A and B are shown apart, each in its own frame.
Chain A
């Protein structure tokens, strides 16, 4: 029995106990803490020198289709599992029990956590997909019942949008499955990667003529596009990003932390597992221009939209969308530098956005408004809050010393060296890198302006007696920031863990 199974079951058990009537918050914190300790234990018993998956357990579910409930962890999954448990613990600790149905509130949080953990621990693509779907419904409940603002619209929008994205992804997955040789079809990611390496995929490829004389399109290209766009919708790739800001703004803070910090990474993790090891660069590079244009939309266009925001929660939501542009750039670079940078950025962004949303939620509780114009000078009554928000802001804009910088640095270097050699002139990757660098300035503009408008300047009468952060949220945010600092001061630790898992054709 793999310890990973317990990792997934603990939150589910916690959720069940909460629903059955035990004190919800305590059960949730206990489950999350136990999960966190279990994941730390996994880290210590992990063999960092071995390649391939460890803690594997497999149980065949549908042999004819090649579906088996396989769990396993290699460097990348381990890092993502630890990220998930950390953010879950922080989210559950920061969560204030709502007045209506607190048990279901905490149960939903734990369900999301179970879904994320299951997705990252799965080696089978089918269950990978299924666990993500598992996490969609609790998100709907959390936003729709316990959210704020226009929560019903946001809940419907995000659920249907993400379900549609998952649907596109499913078609892509089926296409990938069909591309495998007939007798050996399986959803197991290791089998898929092996076959790709041997060149056994897409042997009986079909092709179709496109209208308007655009040439022919092959099955492999369609599958690549479907998979990438499917994952992209789940990760708010431009122009499929409009679900994210409203969802994060309306969601209660713990839900936003979990979704932006952990669940969104599912799509990027999927790209690292199902696209980069499977499709050869010749196929991938045909769509580079299109995808680069889309991610420039993420960086530049959404960056400007973020600057225009006047409310903190919407601003953080849009900024989260913008940062996905960096990760996509690293992924498209398709070289070890860019991929490592993207993986590092996954973790760094998850931690920093979780810290920011936690603080945003605390602010909303205290002041009832997140409108930047109404706030001001809050560093005086709440110095610790101001300090921690400052740290989180600096992390998010990529200040060296935090993991985000290391990730962005590697992404820039990786993207700049992708494509043609630099000597023969600027190619589209390099132009995109220039734009991505300007994104660094844009993110500084909006985060610093928000920080200034919230915490600096003279303090208004009504805010003079605000209470500072209490111990538990303070410790949670400090823990997240310390993790960011550790990963930022010594990123080689994470790179060594993740690098063996970043295979590409």
Chain B
């Protein structure tokens, strides 16, 4: 019985998605009800599973099997990592689903939305529970398609259509590297199951550079899914989807799947220092650049999107520098709660502003939307890592832990990460001050009111873990974190000072600003990376495509089809001159032929 619980958790949302697909369009409450019921069942079962011991027996069935050469199982793993992630995903999901009831109340495509969310939940749980690389890859792609469906929810908008396509394609590019890494690992060990791969680490280590390349390729999957540089461009555009989608997929869970995969893969990464260095650098640089880009964005969701990219950079950096997976996963844990909270708060603001998303049209909302304001403060304090010594919001514990590990193991990156923490505080409070303080900058801001209870209660539910998820007694239930040994104490003081500095700068510039006093085009235009990619797609891909098209018509077709056909035609044209129409000429040919025949028969 206990062995089938993970399967129930996995397949319930799929059943819900199927039912909504078939029957959802006839009844709105049915779609929502099915989705929320499925999420609720998963939540309860995940918490129950959390208390169970780790599963030692493989719990799988064979999906593809070709004698001994090739077997791909579909199986579930229950170990501390998956139990933890199940709890995170299945706690946030029902909260977001309930919130959606309020957010999507007057939107079209209700059943599509809940079907997509249920499909997403199924796929995400598949990634969490996967016991082998191929199964994880399968659900990785399924998560990508759920994201495609959900980002493209408002499909009659050109921008949403473009964004959903871009998300899927950029993810696919990451998947290209991912699959290649899986193939390389399989080619050496003959298996894709995590448990078996870990027993073959000595064999893998003997491959030298091959293993480094394989690990970096597997990391490519994370670069795509977790929006690290250079495949980060899809995440801000994914904000075209409804805000609950942004909060669940593109903040808390789906993008975290990349980090989860690295945590799962950790035993092998542990023995490949060059790969870890690459991972750490990618994470650290992404962290910094995304934070810089966030300081100049004007759309409330985009600020949070770049913030997500930056925080994911922290997690990836953590994978690169920490000794165990607990440290980056701790930040994933806290980030899921506070980032989801921030997005839901943003959604609350957006709904009451009649879907206005530009922060420079908001303002003075703190009195009109007090609950949202307080929850946003909680979220902001968690995100910027407010805290000192033993007391702080959740982000403080997890982020500072990563920074101190980075300072010990990769000092340059450590200080980059520390600086970014200050920038994080700056843009977070920029958001808070511009949206909630100051004077109302538009009519909609003047007439805003608090969101309905069905949206506010989830906010308050999430504010609690945003504050407390990092506290030591809670953290000890889920993780075994270790502090680094050789970190000087002044690092903590510097971090606190950076936090205060960021907060202070934001207050100075934005507390009473009417429009943005700071203007840095490089950041506002996102380092022009989007423009570079657009250029590449149009000119390199488009160029190659047009060249191939031309070549197909004028080179291949010409050589293979037109040439023989023209040769045949020319031969026919030439040979018809033998048709002289003159009987006597024919008679002459006839006679000449007979003479020739006689010669051949008799004289030779």
Contacts and interface: CB of A to CB of B under 8 A. Distances in A.
Interface of A: 157, 160-161, 238-243, 301-302, 304-305, 307-309, 335-337, 340, 377, 379-380, 394, 399-401, 405-406, 409-410, 412-414, 416-417, 421-423, 433-434, 437-438, 440-441, 444-445, 448-449, 452, 455-459, 490-492, 495, 499
Interface in B187-205: 187-188
B66 A495 contact: yes
Nearest to B144: A399
18 contacts: A161-B561, A304-B549, A305-B549, A305-B552, A308-B542, A400-B142, A422-B187, A433-B183, A434-B180, A437-B179, A437-B180, A440-B175, A452-B165, A456-B164, A457-B155, A458-B158, A491-B63, A495-B66
A157 B155 CA distance: 40
A239 B138 contact: no
Contacts of B172: 440-441, 444
A305 B548 contact: yes
B548 A394 contact: no
Given A405-B138, A492-B63, A457 B161 contact: yes
Interface string B47-82: 000000000000000111111011010000000000
A39 B162 CA distance: 44
B65 A307 contact: no
Contact of B557 (A242, A409, A491): A242
Going nearest first, the 6 A-B pairs with the smallest beta carbon separation are A456-B161, A422-B187, A308-B545, A308-B549, A400-B138, A304-B548
B569 to A, nearest CB: 12
B183 A457 contact: no
Nearest to B541: A307
Contact of B184 (A301, A308, A422): A422
A157 B161 contact: no
Given A305-B549, A399-B142, A434-B180, A417 B561 contact: no
A204 to B, nearest CB: 31
B586 interface: no
Given A307-B545, A413-B183, A441 B64 contact: no
B66 A380 contact: no
Contacts of A241: 556
B464 interface: no
A10 B142 CA distance: 42
A440 B571 CA distance: 44
A320 to B, nearest CB: 14
B210 interface: yes
Given A157-B561, A457-B161, A491-B64, A304 B544 contact: yes
Given A305-B552, A307-B545, A423-B188, A379 B155 contact: yes
Contact of B64 (A307, A423, A492): A492
Contacts of B156: 377, 379-380, 456-459
A491 B62 CA distance: 10
Contact of A242 (B138, B546, B560): B560
B169 A445 contact: yes
Nearest to A300: B548
Given A405-B138, A452-B162, A423 B210 contact: yes
Decide if the interface of chain A is mainly helix, strand, loop or mixed. Answer: helix
Contact of B548 (A308, A416, A437): A308
Interface string B169-186: 100110110011001101
A417 B161 contact: no
A379 B156 CA distance: 8
Given A438-B176, A492-B64, 10 more contacts: A302-B548, A307-B541, A308-B542, A409-B134, A437-B179, A441-B172, A452-B164, A456-B161, A492-B63, A495-B66
Contact of A240 (B162, B164, B179, B560): B560
A337 B70 contact: yes
A394 B155 CA distance: 17
Nearest to A434: B180
Contacts of B557: 242
B559 interface: yes
B242 interface: no
Nearest to B559: A239
B73 to A, nearest CB: 11
A457 B156 CA distance: 4
B187 A448 contact: no
B168 interface: yes
Contact of B169 (A417, A441, A490): A441
A491 B545 CA distance: 34
Contacts of B547: 304
Given A379-B155, A400-B141, A406 B180 contact: no
A336 B188 contact: no
B70 A413 contact: yes
A258 B69 CA distance: 35
B152 interface: yes
Contacts of A394: 145
Nearest to B72: A409
Contacts of A448: 165, 168-169
B155 to A, nearest CB: 4
Contacts of A302: 548, 552
B579 interface: no
A387 B400 CA distance: 47
B115 to A, nearest CB: 10
B207 interface: yes
A444 B565 CA distance: 36
Interface string B113-142: 000000000000000000000100111011
B1 to A, nearest CB: 24
A499 to B, nearest CB: 7
B155 A309 contact: no
B254 to A, nearest CB: 16
B179 A412 contact: yes
Nearest to B178: A437
- Residue among B70, B210, B542 with most chain A CB within 10 A: B70
A343 B294 CA distance: 50
A312 to B, nearest CB: 15
Contacts of A437: 176, 179-180
Nearest to B67: A336
A503 to B, nearest CB: 14
Nearest to A443: B172
B217 to A, nearest CB: 10
Contacts of A441: 169, 172-173, 176
Interface in B433-450: none
B549 to A, nearest CB: 4
A416 B161 contact: no
A238 B561 CA distance: 13
A309 B176 CA distance: 24
A298 B141 CA distance: 25
B64 A242 contact: no
Contacts of A422: 184, 187-188, 210
Contacts of B544: 304
A414 B67 CA distance: 13
Nearest to A398: B141
A433 B187 CA distance: 13
A413 B180 CA distance: 10
Given A377-B156, A440-B172, A340 B546 contact: no
Given A380-B156, A409-B134, A337 B549 contact: no
Interface string B334-366: 000000000000000000000000000000000
Contacts of B69: 335-337
B524 to A, nearest CB: 27
A6 B557 CA distance: 41
B592 to A, nearest CB: 34
A153 B560 CA distance: 16
A67 to B, nearest CB: 31
Nearest to A397: B172
A445 B158 CA distance: 17
Contacts of B63: 490-492
Given A308-B545, A379-B155, A492 B62 contact: yes
Contact of B187 (A240, A417, A491): A417
B183 to A, nearest CB: 5
